[in-house]
Structure 1
């Protein structure tokens, strides 16, 4: 109950006095003693006069709970399933632990957690990805060690850095699915993954175009303007990613427990038509990048000077496609 703030001051004061009377010790005692209406004043359950008429020990042993009306859209369904699990326990069909877990699963939304107490797999995955991302950044040091230069001749040192940053972005996008899912996390998971793919593959495309077996204008221009070439592709990526922000994602609850007694979870959902268009545009752009890269790999597969590098790129491409 509450008191409206838009009523007259005199009415507010009168309502306060009414509340004081309704919650007074004497009136609560009368309701409890004469009408067996439970009270939140627990000291009354130690009153000898009250306990002469009711079983105070019984009432003190009760553990009242509130209805989870704000946590479920269909309370009747929740109530029915709640009682079912309790009856299953009472009749010996399931254990107490199973019954409590089933009750919790009705409304609990499961999520990826990095807390080892909640999910050991989530914790191990988080640690592994973190170590891998840091290791990839640290590995860039070898680019500036002369003894390792022969192993990194395929790309210029700045392209290797761009390539590694792209790989790290794709790895770190996984962190956005840890904890509670939000529209922000959904949006930037897509952007980080998309940007990571572009940063990872565009330097390779640039190098393969430069190494094209037959002399042509595009290869010659790319050789002279390789940074501008990369900048063009990244600018397109930034524009598409920016447009995708105009129509953000929403988070949808999947009530798997009510369907097959599974675990409830959340997914990212794009309901807006323009948002879906931008996502398809992003996917089309990635398809073009991967198709061009695959075609160039096919054309240059038998070039001996870059044979090892070509096979390595193909392995990386297959790995990224599998993980994505």
Structure 2
């Protein structure tokens, strides 16, 4: 390891108590953050528990063992020997402990985060990360491109209204708003004498319903702006479902009131001798009884 032979300038690793002795040229320090005073230390450790199928006679002894291992007294003894970094951080507030432990201040005020499972469980994450770094070191890759590739391993992009990131969100938002206003203003055409005959196909109230459905489809574009959430996903499905209903109901109404009609392609009226007449569709001009 480079941390042991002194060949590295900076080393990032999981620290084990006692790894750096007094002769080591390295000093342990928090990971630098995006701002001064902010750091990020990944918290890992071992889980201690009792299995489900344990013999009943062993349950109480097992509980006592766990109590013993996690007791303040034992944790203090192990911390003083620098065998562990105790999860009981208040131990490092005690003078008799902190005065005997190297890097006590780091243990006392760690800014810990849980290891991100969606990133570090990936088998090829570390490989890709180091490859991008080596491309910068040895293959003349620019720092900007290398950092962008590293960031893309964990970053989720979305349509943003922030012009510093992209203008796509602003353009999409303005376009959707303009179309929304344009379609809504088309209602006024129904009351213009010049276009009144063009709207006889449906009653005015149904034109309102149809236009309302179209407007609802346009509003689904706003659910795509910003981070995708469960609420936005459900809202998008709800708007689409209702909008198609509003659009097709007026058209279905028109089909119902105009259908059926007698024509050369179908015969509808069937008269039953001394019975009850009924109508049925027959595309071959033959009665169906």
TM-score, length-normalised on structure 2? 0.51
Task: Output aligned runs, 1:1-324, within 5 Å.
Answer: 18-21=91-94, 31=102, 39=106, 69-70=116-117, 72-74=119-121, 77-212=124-259, 214=261
Q: CA deviation at 1:73?
A: 4.3
Label 1:143 to 1:20 Cα distance change in 2 as closer, same or farther (>3 A). same
Q: Distance in 2 between matches of 1:157 and 1:193?
A: 23
Q: Is the 8 A contact 2:92 2:107 kept in 1?
A: no
Deviations 1:40-83 (A, max 9, x none): 89xxxxxxxxxxxxxxxxxxxxxx99896355142663222211
Where is the helix percentage greater, Structure 1 or Structure 2?
1
Label 1:135 to 1:142 Cα distance change in 2 as closer, same or farther (>3 A). same
Q: Distance in 2 between matches of 1:103 and 1:143?
A: 57
Residue 306 of structure 1 corresponds to none
Residue 251 of structure 1 corresponds to none
**Match of 1:114, SS?**
coil
Q: CA deviation at 1:199?
A: 0.9
Q: Distance in 2 between matches of 1:125 and 1:176?
A: 12
Q: Distance in 2 between matches of 1:93 and 1:65?
A: 35
Q: Distance in 2 between matches of 1:160 and 1:185?
A: 28
Q: Distance in 1 between matches of 2:208 and 2:95?
A: 72
Residue 262 of structure 1 corresponds to none
Q: Is the 8 A contact 2:189 2:195 kept in 1?
A: yes
TM-score, length-normalised on structure 1? 0.46
Q: Is the 8 A contact 1:163 1:200 kept in 2?
A: yes
Any unmatched runs of 5+ in structure 2?
1-42, 44-66, 77-87, 269-289
**Match of 1:72, SS?**
helix
**Match of 1:116, SS?**
coil
Q: Is the 8 A contact 1:21 1:27 kept in 2?
A: no
Question: Between Structure 1 and Structure 2, how many residues are aligned?
Answer: 182
Residue 54 of structure 1 corresponds to none
Q: Distance in 1 between matches of 2:228 and 2:250?
A: 33
Q: Distance in 2 between matches of 1:102 and 1:11?
A: 45
Q: CA deviation at 1:137?
A: 1.6
Bigger relative CO (Cα 8 Å, ≥ 6 apart): 1
Q: Is the 8 A contact 1:69 1:75 kept in 2?
A: no
**Bigger Rg, structure 1 or 2:** 2
Q: Is the 8 A contact 2:92 2:98 kept in 1?
A: no
Q: CA deviation at 1:148?
A: 3.2
**Match of 1:108, SS?**
coil
